[in-house]
Amino acid sequence: MLKKIECIIQPFKLEDVKEALRKIAVDGMTVTEVKGCGKQRGYTQKYSPEAPIRLLPKVKMEIVTDEEKVEEIVQTIQSLARTNQIGAGKIFIIPVEDVMRVRTKERGRIAID
């Protein structure tokens, strides 16, 4: 089974996370600059329910991998992206139906190796 690990992290953590993923032989990834908020709606202190949502700059990283590697990758991302502050991020693990390598038409696991 293929899975997509989609994580939202603090932009200043990107270099550390990327370097750690290189060390555990993660090859393919897609990184996007995004904006988002979690349960604090972008505020670091108490907000009122009427306060507008604040969208803060974040980095989204997407990695499609075999399910056997998911736990190692997720633990690596968590340990490097962690801060003791709110807003350190989220990691989503999503099933992937199939993959095709455009150059060769290979499908499935072989298309990401």
Ligand X SMILES: Nc1ncnc2c1ncn2[C@@H]1O[C@H](COP(=O)(O)OP(=O)(O)OP(=O)(O)O)[C@@H](O)[C@H]1O
Residues that bind Mg ion (CB under 5 A): 38, 40, 86-87
**What is the rounded distance in angstroms from the CA atom of residue 103 to the CA atom of residue 105?**
6
Which listed range, 22-30, 35-43, 64-72, 94-102, lies at the site for ligand X (CB under 6 A)? 35-43
Site string for ligand X, 45-84 (x = CB under 6 A): -----------x-x--------------------------
| Tokens at 52, concatenated | 């507008």
- One of 40, 64, 80, 93 touching ligand X (CB under 6 A): 40
Task: Output helix, strand, coil percentages for the chain, rounded to the nearest 5.
Answer: 30, 30, 40
Half-sphere exposure of 62 (CA within 13 A, CB side): 10
Q: What are phi and psi of 50, to 5 degrees?
A: -85, -15
Nearer to Mg ion, 34 or 86 (CB): 86
All residues at 6 or more sequence positions from 51 whose CB lies less than 8 Å from its CB, including other chains = 41, 43
- One of 24, 53, 86, 110 touching ligand X (CB under 6 A): 86
Q: How far is the CB of 51 from ligand X (least distance, A)?
A: 15
State the residues that interact with ligand X by CB under 6 A. Answer: 8, 36-40, 56, 58, 86-90
